[in-house]
Amino acid sequence: MYYNKNMFDSLQEKLTKTLRNVQGKGKLSERNMEETLKEIRVALLESDVNYRVVKDFLEKVRQESIGQDVLNSVEPGQLLVKIVHDEIIRLLGEEESGINFKEDGLTSIMIVGLQGTGKTTQAAKLASLLKKKGRKPMMIAADIIRPAAIEQLKTLGDQINVEVFSKGVDVDVLTQVKEGIAYAEEKGYDTVLIDTAGRLQIDEQLMKELKDIKDLIHPDEILLTVDAMTGQDIVNVANAFNDLLEVTGLILTKFDGDSKGGAALSVKAVTGVPIKFTGTGEKISDLETFHPDRLAQRILGMGDVVSFVEKAQEEMDMKQAEETANRLMEGKFTMDDLLNSIEQSRKLGPLSSIMRMMPGMSDMANAINDSAADEELKRIKAIIQSMTPAEREDPSIMRSSHKRRIAKGSGTRIEDVNKLCNQYDKMKKLFKNMSSMKSLFKM
Ligand SMILES: Nc1nc2c(ncn2[C@@H]2O[C@H](COP(=O)(O)OP(=O)(O)O)[C@@H](O)[C@H]2O)c(=O)[nH]1
Ligand SMILES: [Mg+2]
């Protein structure tokens, strides 16, 4: 899970502060414990978590704490962190729940939700995700009140190379869906995503239309998009849809926004419907499978190492990385290798957001000046690019005159060039030592 902005920052800050106060304490007195629980309560409520959810949450934490004999344990503070962490996971849904695909034949997924919550966008994002996983998706335009809505879906379909079935605005919705399904079966698609209409508010007509579609095709999934920015009302909306349609999963959209996040935390607990995906931006690739444990870790400021690694693997050119690693181990390390590794790591995003995903680094991340770090890396890149191939291969051949030329060519100072050369030497030595160790141990 990768967040550009930090929806849960303020909750995280408060919780870590509270939990830090009790961590390291040899013993936790009853009064201490009560105080901590009170602080957690305030933090949750201030972050918009539903009050009943908060009550239940604290009750569970208290019970667990007593059950685990926190008051006498060696490091009660840490245990409390663990208990709170587990309870947050419980809130969010204990396990990941993906799409229920039919073993055989066409899987149908209805996407429902209020207007503007991101149905059409998520339909396309999901189609694209499924396609990447080797499925053959098609989309049906079932929001046919406005021609623009059909156009929007078609444009997205073109972008991701997924066919969109639509007979225009003159056909009624049920016919549209029915013919769409028949068409998908005939064409050998294995998944259809149905982009339905929404309204600004829940109304009878909309609900009837959705119910009729449901009764007609008995979809395998009914996914409800809810806008994380909506706040507390999210829970009411989700309840209303679920009561009528028995929603099978939630997609929390606009997770990249800066709402307080608490409503998003409550929605699973209140409705019982699992969160399946989060929408984290407007781009097609901004849809992520929801991992309760990872979000819980992040909320507690424990970092999100798993996501970090995944993100890294996704973005890095693995083959190139491997080649570089091999060269390093052979004791060959050129300026080009250095440049490559810098460019690879830049693909992960701004330094501060990378740091934020590491355990215990969030304070430091806040202190990082991304633009300064960026400047430094740009400088290094310019310097390396001003070297001749021979110099990149073996920087030790460079004399002062060469360095002056490079400084001039890259718009830097000769001190900058020297600094880079020193860093390079250090790294090279380090890798040499590593490779001699490797041969020593015959790894
Ligand atoms: N920031 C952000 N914007 C989103 C996200 N999902 C959708 N949007 C935007 O929200 C607006 C409404 O989306 P749309 O799919 O048309 O909503 P619909 O009316 O439910 O079909 C569009 O401008 C989308 O680009 C998301 O996850 N994050
Ligand atoms: Mg739409």
Quickly list DSSP for 40-106: HHHHHHHTT--HHHHHHHHHHHHHHHHHTTGGGSSSHHHHHHHHHHHHHHHHH-SS-------SSS-
CATH number at residue 14: 1.20.120.140
**Residue 72 lies in domain:** 9-92
Q: Which DSSP symbol is given to 191? A: E
pLDDT of 102 strictly over 90: yes
Question: pLDDT for 75-93, tens place per residue?
Answer: 566 667 777 877 888 888 8
CA distance 315 to 305: 15
What are the pLDDT digits (tens) for 372-430?
777 878 888 899 999 998 999 888 899 999 999 999 999 999 999 998 898 888 877 77
Pocket-forming residues, ligand 1, beta carbon under 6 Å:
113, 115-121, 198, 253-254, 256-257, 279-282, 286
Three-state DSSP class for residue 302: coil
Asked which of 92, 126, 152 is the last residue of a domain, the reply is: 92
Task: Give the residue-averaged pLDDT of 64-80.
Answer: 59
Compare 95 and 395 and report the one with higher pLDDT: 395
117 Cα–ligand 1 center, Å: 6
Distance, in Å, from the CA atom of 19 to the CA atom of 36, rounded to the nearest integer, reads 7
Do 277 and 152 belong together in one domain?
Answer: yes
DSSP state of 156: H
Query: Looking at 47, 62, 92, which one is the last position of a domain?
Result: 92
Residue among 3, 110, 121, 146 whose CB has most ligand 1 atoms within 8 A, to mutate = 121
Q: Determine whether 296 is exposed, middle or buried from the number of CB atoms within 10 Å of its CB (0-12, 13-18, 19+).
A: buried
Instruction: Give a yes or no: residue 298 inside a domain.
Output: no
Q: Is residue 127 part of a domain?
A: yes
> Is 250 inside a domain boundary?
yes
- Nearest ligand for residue 124 CA: 1
Measured in angstroms, how far is the CA atom of residue 387 from the centroid of ligand 2? 53
Q: What angle do CA 174, 283, 318 make, to 5 degrees?
A: 120
**For a substitution probing ligand 1, which of 111, 193, 282 has the most ligand atoms within 8 Å of its CB?**
282
Atom of ligand 1 nearest to the CA of 257: 1
Long-range pairs for 64-71: beta carbons < 8 A, 24 or more residues apart: 65/33, 70/28, 70/33, 71/27, 71/28, 71/29, 71/30, 71/33
Q: Within a domain: residue 262? A: yes
Atom of ligand 1 nearest to the CA of 117: 20
- Within this chain, do residues 88 and 112 fall inside the same structural domain, yes or no? no
On whether both 111 and 77 belong to a single domain, the answer is no
Res. 4 pLDDT band, cuts 50 70 90 = very low
The CATH code of the domain that includes 434 is 1.10.260.30
Residues 323 and 378 in one domain: yes
CA 417 to mean position of chain CA atoms: 38
Count of structural domains within the chain: 3
Nearest-atom index, ligand 1, CA of 123: 15
Q: Which two tokens stand for residue 179?
A: 């013919």
Boundary (domain end) residue, out of 259, 290, 321: 290
Sheet holding 191-196, edge to edge: 164-165, 137-142, 191-196, 107-113, 221-227, 249-253, 275-279, 287-289
State the Cα–Cα distance between residues 196 and 223, nearest whole angstrom.
11
Task: Looking at the structure, tell me whether residues 45 and 143 fall in a common domain.
Answer: no
Ligand 1: atom nearest CA of 125 is 6
Q: Tell me if 100 is assigned to some domain.
A: no
Closest C-alpha to 59, from 44, 77, 75, 74: 44
Residue nearest to atom 22 of ligand 1 (CA): 118
Ligand 1 centre distance from Cα of residue 47 (Å): 23
**Is 99 inside any structural domain?**
no
pLDDT surpasses 90 at 52:
no
> Residue 302 domain-assigned?
no
- Gap between the terminal Cα atoms of the chain: 34
Residue 441 pLDDT > 50, yes or no?
no
Confidence of residue 293 (pLDDT cuts 50, 70, 90): confident
130-134, 220-224, 349-353, 422-426, range with greatest mean pLDDT: 220-224
Ligand 2 centroid – CA 144 distance (Å) = 9
Residue 418 sits in the same domain as residue 363 = yes
Q: Which ligand is nearest to the CA of 7?
A: 1
Domain membership of residue 208 (yes or no) is yes
- Give the number of other CB atoms < 10 A from CB of residue 59: 12
371 close to 325: Cβ distance less than 8 angstroms: no
87 and 184 inside one domain: no
If one compares 311 and 76, the residue with the highest pLDDT of the two is 76
Find, among 400, 402, 379, 408, the residue nearest to 390 by Cα: 402
120 and 240 inside one domain: yes
Determine the distance separating the centroid of ligand 2 and the alpha carbon of 143, expressed in angstroms. Answer: 7
**Which atom of ligand 1 sits closest to the CA of residue 121?**
15
Spacing, Cα 420 to ligand 2 middle (Å): 52
CB under 5 Å of ion ligand 2: residues? 119-120
Q: What is the pLDDT of residues 340-384, one digit of tens each?
A: 777 766 666 666 665 555 545 556 566 666 677 778 788 888 999
Ligand approaching nearest to the C-alpha of 119: 1
Q: How far apart are CA 364 and CA 360, in angstroms?
A: 8
Q: How far is the CA of 151 from the centre of ligand 2 (A)?
A: 10
**Closest ligand 1 atom to 279 CA:** 27
Looking at the fold, whether 268 and 336 belong to one and the same domain comes out as: no
Q: For residue 62, is pLDDT > 80? A: yes
* Ligand nearest to the Cα of 252, by number: 1
Q: What pLDDT sits at residue 339?
A: 80
